[in-house]
Amino acid sequence: MTAALAAPTAAPAPALDGLPLTVGLAGREVLLVGAGPVSARRARTFLEAGAHLRVVAPAIAPEMADVMAGAGDGVVVVARSFTPADLETPWMVHVATGDAQVDAEIAALCEARRIWCVTAGDAALGSVRVPARTAVATPAGLVRIAVDSGDPRRSVRVGRHVARSLATAPAGLRARRRPEAGWVALVGGCGDGDLLTVRARRLVHAADVLVVDGAADVGLVAELDDDVEVIEAGSGLPAARVADLIAARRAAGHGVVRIVAAPTLAAAARDLEDAGVEFQLVPGVV
């Protein structure tokens, strides 16, 4: 008798060794112990987040000097070795002294005082890791991507790959929060997702409303969020009425993409202009 094969089971999701967070550092002090090239790179990251930096180190590397020159009052430098009293005011500490024992001692002090600590030499010693960061521009604003793989160089490569993937296949980039003003894009095409330009696809996936002549491509609609409104303008709607619908959706703060065939692109543009609708024009593939 042949034994029945057991059904394959899905592999368990890997356990996370930490909770990814976005930390608000604007106006808060970050202490950097060490002023070498690694600290300089992280200093730029913390400054971009709006932090006030205090650097404690007996010597300043040229890279850190360049950061200081451009940061003005945003960086205070104390030219000496670290002392425990340096932990009285910071919200976060970044340690990169080049001495593993010193880094470990400072990390232990931070742990005892419940201060978040990043240890550049050995991430396992600290309580916080700084991920590799990148961003993708969308019509609804920037999408920031943070990657933490445990290997900084690998994290950078993965982040770049994700950013490139989103730029060419931008599903999921639509913002759910309504901006103060909506936007409209007039896209040349026939509604077939395979024939849209990369820029057009990014706009479609960022839109709240998709307006097409006739039935939209099923595959394209299937990629959209369930609450995206699809208007079939070719179903007997007068051109002026279509323009008014677009104007109303834009006034409500929605992002609208109108897809029309190349021969009627100019006429659709005139209809929007007559309705007083500002729009960006995205020609199709000729």
CA distance 52 to 204: 40
Could you read off the pLDDT of 222-241 as tens digits, one per residue? 778 888 898 888 767 888 89
> Would you state the pLDDT for residue 237?
81
Q: What is the pTM of this model?
A: 0.60
Mean pLDDT for the chain overall: 84
Could you read off the pLDDT of 55-111 as tens digits, one per residue? 999 999 999 999 988 888 889 999 999 999 999 999 999 999 999 999 999 999 999
Could you read off the pLDDT of 158-173 as tens digits, one per residue? 888 888 777 665 555 6
**Which residue type is seen at 150?**
G
